[in-house]
């Protein structure tokens, strides 16, 4: 139930309750909050339960970037509260709709303010620019009773008091300082008095002030509780816990709609990060950006009508912006040039929400990253994640020369785990890779991203060295294989009970869309994996570079943007 009371701002914690890496448990109007400060200073006020099994997040672990639940290790991102990782299923990217409830919050005057549906301005705090935050005093009494009694607070000679518009009370000593007292209504019969003194203090003077007020407030507390004891105790407040998104009830995540540019972002930084590579920092025009996971990419819709995919390079917890790196391609069809030459700081771009078809497993004891050139971008985000969690990895970055090393600063954080291989010939690269990939094993994984020929070679070297198909993860920037769209065949849609014909010259995706079926897609060239669809029956002519050889042989899924039927008919699981 939301009432007028829920739309107010209340102080729920002192800033000093949120030391580094702590999670503080607060309560307001019967609802528990988990309150934590990320290393970037942002204060998160969330529903105090994990969406999975309802365990209090206040007993979770704040790693400075994410909050990790104690029960199953689910991770929720700073700022967005979106789930970034579900350890029980390391190969899956969590559905985007798994997002905890956030509550409006502000940190001002040494207090953290929140409200279930708070909006508008905080109370006017004129005269309280410099403050000492008093020790909060809990009172077993209803808010109204506490608020009434605050007026009788006397801390020095000649105190006068007045009630402010927000219900707080300012008590001023004759010719001296003022104290402003607020009530935090935790529950129907439980409140906390939070006070501010209108002067800064430190050292012994501060201790003396805190002791003085603490003693007097404790006295006030005893008086209020004595009065409350003679009254009937109200029933505890009942809070409703919002239901989770409907698509999460059936276990497979629901597919998202089409190729959409649902977000508007502003380019707030544009800089050359290496020769021929520009990095863009993108910030939301309004509201928070959706949660991303390492390996995720976004579609950027350019002014010239082109749509291009770029991986996010962000580390965990960097949730107030997205960073992408774009290489100027000499044989560009207009995408990279449009970004290099046509996009300037301050411009607004249309982008899709992040999709993750290249998820990072975090159940490896050791992970090997092999990046070639601009292929570094998704792997950088992954490595930063493992580095932050203290999981073992090594990062091999193959570049033409030192001038081509992008995102130098981020690599600096990873120390010895990173090896830059400069200016190697294809033969030398092969030798190096054979050495790097010589030890496959249990719980060891390799992630590869780079130009097509290098990627092919690396996959082959890994397979030859004995790495299992499931341990080799890769992402192509583009699909350069020759594609044949001359065949014509039928598709049966098992769940929607439809039969459609795919003529030559059209893709399955085209035909599905024409029939009004919403299918998500991104690169539309068989590289990114977004338009993947289950196949129940029929032989597939795979023309993508997303599926692994094993997945292709199993024939259980198809990339609808490029692949076709090798038989007359396919039965698709949609």
Partner 1 sequence: MTCHDRILLDDWHVVADLEHLRQHSRQSAELFEQQLDINLRADGSAEVRHKETGRVLPSQIKYGFVWVCVGTPSRDIIEIPEAGEADRYVVSGGSFPVRASGLRVVENFLDMGHFPFVHTGWLGEEPHTEVAPYQVELTPDDEIIATECYFYQPVASPTAEGGIEVEYKYRVYRPYIVSLYKTNPAYPDRKDYIVLFIQPVGPEDCVVHNMLCYLKEGMNEPDIRWFMQLIFAQDKPILENQLPKRLPLDPRAETPIRADKVAILYRRWLRDHCVSYGAIPAA
Contact residues: partner 1, CB under 8 A: 32, 48-49, 51-56, 59, 69-73, 86-91, 98, 241, 243-246, 248-249, 251, 362-365, 391, 443
Q: Is 265 exposed, middle or buried (0-12, 13-18, 19+ CB in 10 A)?
A: buried
Comparing CB distances to partner 1, the nearer of 151 and 444 is: 444
Task: Compute the half-sphere exposure of residue 416: CA atoms within 13 Å on the CB side of its CA.
Answer: 1
CB of 19 to partner 1, least distance (A): 21
The whole-angstrom separation of Cα 138 and Cα 189 is 11
Smallest distance, partner 1 to C-beta of residue 68, A: 9
91 vs 200, beta carbon nearer partner 1? 91
CB 162 within 8 A of CB 169: yes
- Smallest distance from partner 1 to CB 35, Å: 16
Between 241 and 515, CB nearer to partner 1: 241
Of the pair 316, 375, the CB lying nearest partner 1 is at: 316
Of 532 and 564, which has the nearer Cβ to partner 1? Answer: 532
Q: Could you tell me if 531 and 544 are in contact, meaning their C-beta atoms sit under 8 angstroms apart? A: no
Q: How far is the CB of 388 from partner 1 (least distance, A)?
A: 14
Rg of the chain over Cα atoms, rounded to whole angstroms, equals 29
Collapsing DSSP to helix, strand or coil, 387 comes out as helix
The least distance separating partner 1 from the CB of residue 281, rounded to whole angstroms, comes to 31
Query: Among 344, 337, 342, 375, which Cα is nearest to 281's?
Result: 344
Residue number, 48 or 80, with CB nearest to partner 1 = 48
Q: Distance between CA atoms of 525 and 334, rounded to whole angstroms?
A: 16
- Using the structure block, give the residue that is written with the tokens 């004595």: 226
Closest to partner 1 by CB, 174 or 249: 249
Our CB check for partner 1 shows the closer of 248 and 424 to be: 248
Minimum separation from the CB atom of position 342 to partner 1 (A): 42
On whether the CB atoms of residues 31 and 80 are closer than 8 A, the answer is no
DSSP β-ladder status, 366-372 and 307-311: unpaired
Q: Which residues pair with 61 in a beta bridge?
A: 68
Smallest distance from partner 1 to CB 244, Å: 5
Cα(375)–Cα(369) distance, integer angstroms: 11
- Name which of 272 and 443 has its Cβ closer to partner 1: 443
Nearer to partner 1, 45 or 364 (CB): 364
CB of 147 to partner 1, least distance (A): 29
- Beta carbon of residue 331, minimum distance to partner 1 (angstroms, whole number): 41
CB–CB of 267/347 below 8 Å? yes
Q: Are 45 and 102 in contact (CB under 8 A)?
A: yes
Tally the residues of the chain: 574
Q: Which of 18, 84, 36, 98 is nearest to 389 (CA)?
A: 84
Q: Which is nearer to partner 1, 133 or 471 (CB)?
A: 471
Residues in Cβ contact with 439 at an 8 Å cutoff, skipping those fewer than 6 apart: none
CB of 139 to partner 1, least distance (A): 24
- Of 364, 347, 525, 534, residue with least CA distance to 441: 364
Closest CA to 332 of 376, 292, 276: 276
- Whether residue 369 contacts residue 376, with contact meaning beta carbons closer than 8 Å, is answered with no
Residue 377 beta carbon to partner 1: minimum distance, rounded to whole angstroms: 24
In whole angstroms, the minimum distance from the beta carbon of 294 to partner 1 comes to: 15
End-to-end CA distance of the chain: 39
Q: Which is nearer to partner 1, 143 or 361 (CB)?
A: 361
Which stretches within 230-276 are classed as H helix? none
**Which region holds residue 259: left if phi is over 0, alpha if psi is between -120 and 50, else beta?**
beta
When the beta carbons of 32 and 329 are compared against partner 1, the nearer one is: 32
Question: Is the CB of 204 or the CB of 242 nearer to partner 1?
Answer: 242
Reduced to 3 states (helix: H, G, I; strand: E, B; else coil), residue 335 is: helix
CB of 560 to partner 1, least distance (A): 24
Min dist CB 99 to partner 1, Å, is 10
Per the CB < 8 A criterion, the answer to whether 23 and 67 are in contact is yes
Sheet holding 472-475, edge to edge: 418-422, 393-399, 366-372, 444-449, 472-475
The Cβ of residue 343 has, within 10 Å, a number of other Cβ atoms equal to: 19
Question: Contact 214/127 with Cβ under 8 angstroms?
Answer: no
Q: 400: helix, coil or strand?
A: coil
């Amino acid at each position: 139930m939301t009432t007028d009371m829920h739309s107010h701002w209340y102080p729920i914690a002192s800033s000093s309750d949120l030391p580094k890496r702590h999670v503080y448990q607060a309560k307001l109007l019967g609802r528990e909050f988990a309150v934590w400060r990320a290393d970037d200073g942002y204060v998160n006020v969330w529903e105090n339960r994990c969406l999975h099994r309802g365990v209090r997040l206040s007993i979770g672990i704040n790693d400075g970037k994410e909050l990790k639940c104690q029960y199953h290790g689910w991770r929720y991102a700073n700022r967005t509260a979106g789930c970034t990782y579900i350890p029980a299923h390391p190969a899956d990217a969590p559905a985007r709709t798994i997002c905890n409830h956030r509550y409006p919050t502000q940190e001002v005057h040494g207090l953290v303010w929140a409200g279930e549906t708070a909006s508008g301005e905080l109370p006017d705090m004129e005269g309280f620019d410099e403050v000492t935050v008093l020790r909060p005093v809990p009172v077993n009494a209803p808010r109204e009773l506490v608020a009434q009694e605050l007026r009788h607070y006397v801390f020095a000679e000649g105190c006068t008091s007045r009630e402010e518009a927000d219900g707080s009370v300012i008590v001023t000593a004759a010719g001296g300082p003022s104290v402003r007292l607020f009530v935090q209504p935790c529950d129907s019969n439980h409140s906390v008095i939070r006070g501010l003194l209108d002067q800064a203090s430190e050292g012994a003077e501060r201790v003396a002030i805190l002791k003085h007020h603490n003693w007097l407030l404790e006295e006030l507390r005893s008086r209020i509780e004595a009065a409350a004891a003679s009254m009937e105790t109200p029933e505890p407040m009942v809070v409703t816990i919002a239901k989770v998104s409907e698509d999460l009830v059936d276990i497979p995540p629901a597919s998202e709609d089409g190729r959409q540019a649902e977000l508007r972002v502003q380019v707030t930084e544009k800089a050359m990060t290496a020769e021929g590579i520009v990095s863009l920092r993108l910030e939301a025009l309004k509201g928070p950006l959706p949660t991303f996971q390492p390996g995720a990419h976004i579609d950027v819709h350019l002014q010239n009508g082109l749509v291009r995919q770029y991986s996010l390079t962000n580390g965990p917890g960097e949730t107030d912006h997205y960073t992408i790196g774009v290489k100027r391609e000499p044989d560009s069809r207009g995408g990279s040039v449009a970004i290099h030459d046509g996009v300037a700081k301050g411009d607004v771009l249309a982008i899709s929400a992040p999709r993750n078809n290249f998820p990072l497993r975090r159940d490896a004891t050791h992970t090997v990253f092999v990046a070639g050139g601009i292929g570094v971008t998704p792997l950088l985000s992954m490595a930063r994640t493992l580095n932050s969690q203290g999981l073992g990895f090594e990062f091999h970055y193959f570049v033409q020369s030192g001038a081509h090393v992008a995102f130098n600063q981020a690599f600096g954080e990873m120390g010895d785990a990173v090896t830059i291989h400069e200016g190697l010939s294809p033969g030398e690269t092969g030798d190096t890779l054979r050495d790097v990939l010589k030890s496959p094993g249990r719980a060891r994984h390799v992630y590869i991203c780079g130009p097509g020929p290098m990627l092919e070679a690396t996959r082959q070297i890994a397979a030859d060295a004995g790495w299992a198909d499931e341990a080799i993860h890769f992402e192509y920037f583009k699909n350069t294989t020759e594609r044949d769209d001359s065949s014509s065949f039928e598709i049966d849609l098992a769940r929607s009970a439809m039969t459609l014909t795919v003529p030559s010259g059209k893709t399955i995706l085209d035909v599905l869309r024409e029939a009004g079926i919403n299918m998500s897609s991104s690169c539309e060239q068989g590289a990114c994996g977004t338009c993947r669809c289950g196949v129940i029956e029929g032989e597939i002519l795979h023309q993508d570079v997303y599926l692994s050889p094993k997945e292709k042989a199993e024939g259980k899924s198809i990339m609808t943007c490029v692949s076709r039927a090798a038989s007359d008919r396919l039965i698709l699981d949609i």
